[in-house]
Amino acid sequence: MLDKLEDDQYAHRRKINPYYPFHDEGEWELGKFLAENLTQTQITKFLKLKWFDAPDRARPSFTTKDHLLDWMDSLPSFTPWKVSKIEFKGYKTIHPVELVWRDALEVVKQLFSDPTFANHMTFNPHVANIKNQREYGDYMSANMAWKIQDHLPLGATQVPIILGSDKTPVTRLAGGIEMHPVFLTIGNIDSEVHSKATLRAWRCVAYIPVVKFRVHPDYQSILQARLWHKCINLVFANLKVAAKDGCFMPDPSRYIRHVFTPLVAHVDPWDLDKFQKAAKAVNLSGVHMPYWRDWMFACPSVFLAGEVLHTCHKFFADHPLKWIKEALGDYELDTRFMVQHKRVGTRHFTKGITHVNQMTGHEHRDIQHTIIASITGAVPPRFVHAIRALIDFIYLAQNPVHSPQTLQSMVQALSDFHSFKDAIIQAGARKGKKGIKEDFFIPKLELLQSFDGTIKKLGTLMQFSADVTERLITHCKDLFPRTSHQIKYFMEQCVRILNRQESMEMFGLYMLLTSRRASLVNAIHTEDEDVTTTNPVLSWVSQVLPDEVKSIHGPRPVRNHFLKGILSGDALTAFQLNVAPNYRSLSPFDIRMKYALLNFDRALADFICCSSFSSGEHSCWDPKNGRFQVWHKFRLQLHSAFQPRVIMPSRVVQAYPPSDNFPLGNCDTVLIDAMGINGKMTSYIVQVRLIFQPTVRRGSNLPSYLSDPLLYVQCFRFISSPDDRPELTMWTVECAYTQDENDVTHAVELIPDYGEAVAKGVSSATCLESYDRFFLNNFADKESYHTFSTKFV
């Protein structure tokens, strides 16, 4: 990739001026901004502004929009876009069939050799054993990678192909043209990288047209499906040859590898089931020449794998959520979601969930987080057990890594659902257009049975989620012209814009590096610092040009509070407070009045007495006349329970005083480890009511137990375990009043035990104070689910 940039026809001019044909970096940024954000008409109007006529103000070197666009087109290109006219013999179409595409093999070569992914790539199949159990993570750790490798020549490298596609209109004002964007990535890139759309590990390779044929409507969708496969066959023709015979391409370190390109996954393949139904309706076989027919190692039973977004989340919205609505009623279900405590980072459904028609995958997950605890008490226990089993299955299917144990738990969860699903019919919740249904013939439900085998073959399903392709499609809509009068002109503009966009994005980074005379070859280093959201470009540039990291735009990196934050006693949890407290200094009286903590003085005195006795440190600091700094929130950060080297995004824990909106305060709950009566560490649930730290004059010191910020908490007591209510499988807690606290370990979520109906007068601002009993929600997030499965064993 770098060689292509350096072999450009104007490379000799860029040795003097890296931004050629632009005058300097500022003019390059201006041109890039205009080309990306304004239409051609708007660019012309901008360049004609009288503002440029001032004698003391320099005009840009480009004077017209054509001048600017010609300069953009002269930038080094990589895999060029082109338009091909597709012939479809025997059938006429309303408009010509023109395919916008580029050679998929060349795109793969560009991805495979991109140095920014050097530290995030795997080239060989491997087996990972954790605690004597096989671990299934990325594709290279699964069985199919080994099976294909056994059929390749000695020393060959797999470059597994992952495709993504969907149907979307790319322009609203071009004669109703619709296209199918087709995306591609490679399985060598770590799933934590290619599962994020903003990290540019996915590349668009084609825009397949959706045309109208001059035939009977019954045959329209079948012909469109055949056209789709014909176009795909053209785009991936060279990849098929490479999968069979192999080819040579450089890796990020510039070593030449003998490469084979098997197809291992196709994410959301354009609703092929819809075309199969249409074909059966008119006694046809549908697509007779699918694009994978001559692709070596490609088997639709493998690469058309179950996908989490549609097979799990949208299945939940289309079926289990509707069963729950029928069982509880819209009003009661909405109320139970409306009165839940609001937490930072979690969607709160202020108006309920029954009115929401279009939901994203994130909203599906937020509903699943609290649905089990929310419906308990209002439906029969067997009904809860059936829904709980499905949620268990969906949560386990999303694991970033799997083991035989987790796979067995996932299979058991699906089996439990089938054991208790009769309760759904008995409750009258499984309804169709003709009344109550007595069966569960749901295609997506049947597909869940294949998850166990698919994970063993291909690795975790989260690496094939359609979330990424749907986000990429939103970006693709902005690349095309807004208006067009002729289809041919429109296609030409599409190709020009796509080539220009590709050149600008890649060349911008190249110019940044070369203008600083950075070493491009020796820029690959091992990363020492743990991060959650890995940005390969940011990591690479930080090694080459540490001062230019701010010039790279991408997802916001996760801050590592383990480096500069406050650590727990076991160093497994990190805390971070704002530098400045929310109040300059408060007296004990101020705290009692403002936070309604009438026994604050006594509690602090007891804490000092107990801590000084156990530690042997004594202080002359007077808690009754002392002053305190106070904060309203802190951040809590953990390592991933699945991948210990990865740091999770921090969670915000709130402790706001009473106010008009929150008459009892706005305070979150956490899990703490405290010393129990038997002398062993025990876990407790508490609500954080105050975050404070004593202050002293300069030159004075506090004992160690007062030197870090402290929490004043309201305790809860466990009253039942998951075994007591197997249909719920959650811990139940109730309010308590005294408990010695120690290290905070997790942010947790409590859902009130609503019973048969929500009490009147309760709101999200008062729910934690209005109820006495709560369920400890182990579905708050993936980490909580894993934690609560092991924390209390």
> Which tens digits make up the pLDDT trace of 126-159?
998 877 888 998 999 999 999 999 999 999 999 9
The average pLDDT across 43-55 equals: 85
Q: Is 429 left (phi over 0), alpha (psi -120 to 50) or beta?
A: alpha
730 or 282, greater pLDDT: 730
Residue 257 has pLDDT above 50, yes or no: yes
Residue 237 CB contacts under 8 Å (≥ 6 apart), including other chains: none
**508 or 786, greater pLDDT:** 786
Q: In 10 A of CB 703, how many CB atoms?
A: 15
For 117-137, the three-class secondary structure string (H helix, E strand, C coil) is HHHHECCCCCCEEECCEEEEC
The mean pLDDT value of the chain amounts to: 80
- What are the residues facing 185 on neighbouring strands? 162
- pLDDT at residue 188, as a whole number: 92
Among the residue ranges 172-176, 197-201, 248-252, the one predicted with the least confidence is 172-176
Mean pLDDT confidence for 467-475: 67
> What does the pLDDT average to over 654-658?
93
For residues 443 and 441, give the distance between their C-alpha atoms in angstroms, rounded to a whole number: 6
Residue 53 in this model has a pLDDT that exceeds 90 = no
DSSP 345-376: TS---TT-STT--S--HHHHHHHHHHHHHHHB
pLDDT at residue number 11: 76
Q: Give me the pLDDT at residue 112, please.
A: 92
3-class secondary-structure state, position 26: helix
pTM of the model: 0.82
- Whether 388 shows a pLDDT value over 90: the answer reads yes
- Summarize the confidence of residues 644-662 as an average pLDDT: 86
The pair of structure tokens assigned to 776 is: 């400890």
Which amino acid makes up residue 87?
Answer: E
Question: Residue 200 and residue 185: Cα distance in Å, rounded?
Answer: 9
* pLDDT score recorded for residue 152: 94
Distance CA 776, CA 774 (A): 6
| φ, ψ for residue 667, nearest 5 deg | -130, 135
Cα separation, 464 vs 707, whole angstroms: 48
Q: Is the torsion defined by CA of 237, 239, 244, 250 positive or negative?
A: positive
- Cα–Cα distance, 212 to 232 (Å, whole number): 18
Task: Work out the pLDDT band at 559, boundaries 50, 70, 90.
Answer: confident
CB-based contact 212:268 (threshold 8 Å):
no
Q: How confident is the model at residue 309 (pLDDT cuts 50, 70, 90)?
A: confident
Percent of the chain exceeding pLDDT 70 equals 80
- The distance in angstroms from the start CA to the end CA of the chain is 53
CA 423 distance to own-chain centroid: 34
Query: Which pLDDT value is given to residue 657?
Result: 93
Please report how the helices 25-37 and 487-515 are oriented relative to each other, as an axis angle in degrees rounded to 10: 150
Give the largest Cα separation in the chain, rounded.
96
Residue at token pair 């338009």: 83
Name the more confident of 264 and 5.
264
Tokens 């610092």 correspond to 529
515 CA to centre of own chain: 34
- Residue 51's pLDDT is what? 85
Res 259: pLDDT: 95
Res. 176 pLDDT band, cuts 50 70 90 = low
Higher model confidence: residue 172 or residue 23? 23
Q: Residue 518 CA to chain centroid, in angstroms?
A: 33
3-class SS of residue 792: coil
pLDDT digits (tens, 9 = 90+) for 513-555: 555 554 544 444 444 344 444 566 656 555 554 554 455 555 5
Rg (CA), the chain: 30
- 172 pLDDT band, cuts 50/70/90, is very low
Specify the pLDDT at position 668. 92
Q: What is the pLDDT of residue 97?
A: 81
Tens of pLDDT, residue by residue over 273-287, are 454 555 556 665 577
Is the sign of the CA dihedral 366, 372, 373, 374 positive or negative?
Answer: positive
Domain boundaries, the chain: 84-307+465-479, 309-452, 561-790
Q: What is the pLDDT of residue 760?
A: 87
> In the structure, what pLDDT confidence band is assigned to residue 16 with cuts at 50, 70 and 90?
confident
